[in-house]
Structure 1
Amino acid sequence: MKIKTKLAVATTSLLIGLTSTPVMAADPLIAGKVDCIAPAGPGGGWDFTCRSIGRLLNSFTNGEITVQTLNMPGAGGGVGFAHVITKRSDDAKVLAAASTATTARLAQNQFPGMKSDMVRWIGAIGTDPGIIAVNQTSEIDSLETLISKLKQDPSSVTFAGASAIGGWDHLKILMTAHAAGVSDLKRIKYLSYNNGGTAVTQVVGGHIDVLVGVASSSKGFIESGDLKPLAVLGRDHLSPPLDKIPTSYELGVDVEASNWRGFYMPKNVSEKEYQWWVDTLKAASQTDEWKEAMVQNGLEPFSLFGEEFDQFVNQQVNSLNLISKDIGIIK
């Protein structure tokens, strides 16, 4: 593993104009201790994202960087977001973990006075893809059939998910329906459960028509034959053995509804510092160490970095804002 890590460092050094020095030499101002803000308590997804990237960066930079995770719960991520904007506005030695939950809350104005363009979005290093599935006896045999039923009567199908009304699982099916041209999104029935496992069992038992969830918590039920997947909500196929499930894009519904894991940093860092973090995280995410971590935690590859990721995030916020207005969550 150390040999592979050193090769990755050398490769990145070449990419940024260096030859034999570690990637850290690109900007010595960032060497040393870096804070990664997990805007929630220990044990959650944002905490995992910070601690995972901390281990990875320490190894990847041959110890030039040590990452300290700062748990900063409050306001669904809003406390951490505000801290970066107001207290660390030009500090290149701070990152903050983010996910689709971050963009959803920004879209629904849950961070008062704060917007997505008040920070710099660095990149996404993995994702838990959204998935739509039914039980094996369901008359809904394809995404096309599901969309057809929703177009005829948006209230004819009931969906189960793990998030609250207006939360990410709910938004996934609304995004999908919207992309497919379904009108009157308010009439789509969605029932919220405390966790993904309960939502799955409701669908497997035939009590609810369709599951809208994530690949990680659905995988075992799909492999056992209890769930029949209709589509992965994105562009990319899942890893084997679920790589035969069609993607929404293949089926003509252009929707990206995965729970990505990524990072943002203060708005007022220099362009050189920002680009250093983009290059470093991009290269680190391609190492075998991170690929193994993704497999162990049920994540799939999702690589968007720099300006491309920044544009993606802001577009997602705008899209979720419009959908949230359509269903009356916000005005």
Structure 2
Amino acid sequence: MTVSAASAISQSGIANDSAWHRPPFDRHRRLRTTPALRALVRETHVGLDDLIMPVFIDETIDGVSPIASMPGINRFGLDAVVDEVGRIADLGIRSIIVFGIPKYKDAVGTGAWIPDGIVQRGIRAIKAAYPDMVVIADDCMCEYTSTGHCGIVERQEVLNDESLEYIAHIAVSQAEAGADIIAPSNAMDGYVLAIRSALDDAGFVSTPIMSYAVKYASSFYGPFRDAADGAPQFGDRAGYQMDPANRREALREAASDEREGADFLMVKPAMAFLDVLRDIREASDLPLVAYNVSGEYAMIKAAAANGWIDEPRIVRETLTSIKRAGADLIITYFAKDVARHIRDHEW
């Protein structure tokens, strides 16, 4: 209480009036008085085991190439990616998801599923050096096709059923290379069933599938398309990714993937779809993943670079909101930054 406030109360005579009684009310502030008390009763925590760091492996370069639209994020040549994974491991992060940028593209995305594809070689090198690192392989065709679409194209139509065979080939080749988890992001109907059947037939019955079950046709993906060189050459992906206006449809998508054999479900993007994340959490007991995507990352980085926000605090609020909404795991380009803050006791 300020001196002026205390003085006013004293002069009013209220404090000495035995007939005056404080009305009953709850004192919520008792649990907020010190940092230690606030930490003691904190309901939602984001820790290292919750984080998955994306890694881009680029067949067209040696060394490291910065991604202009994603400050602090780089593409790594095959000669440099193992060192990057070492840095990630040293920070205490135990899971990565790998994306590939091939040297050559064609109509059927051959580079995505051949044994010596860039992701396959990268996975083998990473697992040889860091066998305990959980390596998740993104299973999609858009980085590898000349059309930039996530499936086989005929007369500018992305064909669903014809794409499933290729998507399954990709999954098997990634598992053969040593991937711990297959994460299909192509948004074709039936893709989880096709991958599960192919993995089982190839003897990978224990390899889990992390399905991009709820993937919206979002404008938040722009920087990723720069990073992975996977922008569509015509049209867009609204014909196979979800309409951002739809909420109930997400429940149907997730239920389909769960029935087909998904071991994880994912919602992508995260920040604009926290309501959907909560819906899926309440509908399913499977581990739930949220993808804090490139546009969400880039916006925060840009605002911080202009001095408009406190970046570490904004990142903490953002990732905490994603966990609070129901995510068990978060794929985020902030993973290394967060790990450094945790290491330095600033989180």
- The reply to whether TM is greater than 0.5 is no
Instruction: With the length of structure 1 as denominator, give the TM-score of the two structures.
Output: 0.29
Structure number, greater radius of gyration? 2
